[in-house]
Amino acid sequence: MQFHSLSLADHGFQVSLVGFPGTDLPVALKAHPFIEIHHLPTLDFIRGLPFLLMAPLKLSFQIFNLFYLFLVVLPKMKFILIQNPPAIPTLLVVQLVALLTGAKIIIDWHNLAYSILALR
């Protein structure tokens, strides 16, 4: 997604790059005048909870924050480029946002199931 973002920005598109904080981004992305970087908040304090409690909390938190970001924080978009996987909950939220705003969805599909399952 970093290369897609940089290429689009180099061609004059305003890019809002959304993701979780963590790995430092290349300077070319951070310094580009057409790229805004938005970090999604995390719920680090729930890591010790049992999965049946943690999963619904984390999913609800991510859904709320994605909707808030797409519908309130970011400017209206013509296109939403999404990397898949992960699809949950991002793909569902993006589909709903696209329906509400008229944006077109472009999916950068990475079929990791093949390598994970070692299918031949």
pLDDT in tens, 24-42: 899 999 999 999 999 999 8
Distance CA 57, CA 53 (A): 7
Q: Based on the structure, what is the number of domains in the chain?
A: 1
Is residue 108 included in any domain, yes or no? yes
Q: Which of 30, 35, 31 is nearest to 7 (CA)?
A: 35
* pLDDT exceeds 70 at position 12: yes
Residue 4 lies in a domain: no
Note whether residue 41 is domain-resident. no
Helix (H) or strand (E) holding 83: strand 79-84
**104 vs 45, residue with greater confidence:** 104
Please give the pLDDT value at position 32: 96
Q: Does some domain include residue 84?
A: yes
How many angstroms from the chain centroid is the CA of residue 41?
12
Q: Considering the domain boundaries, does residue 72 fall inside one?
A: yes
Domain carrying residue 65 = 59-120
Res. 48: pLDDT tops 90: no
Would you mind telling me the total number of residues written for the chain in this entry?
120
Tell whether 14 is covered by a domain. no
| Predicted confidence (pLDDT) per residue in 51-110, tens digit | 898 889 999 999 999 999 999 999 999 999 998 877 789 999 999 999 999 999 999 887
Task: Classify residue 11: in a domain, yes or no.
Answer: no
Element (H, E) at 35: strand 35-39
67 belongs to a structural domain: yes
Residue 48 CB: number of other CB atoms within 10 A? 6
Residue type, 61: F
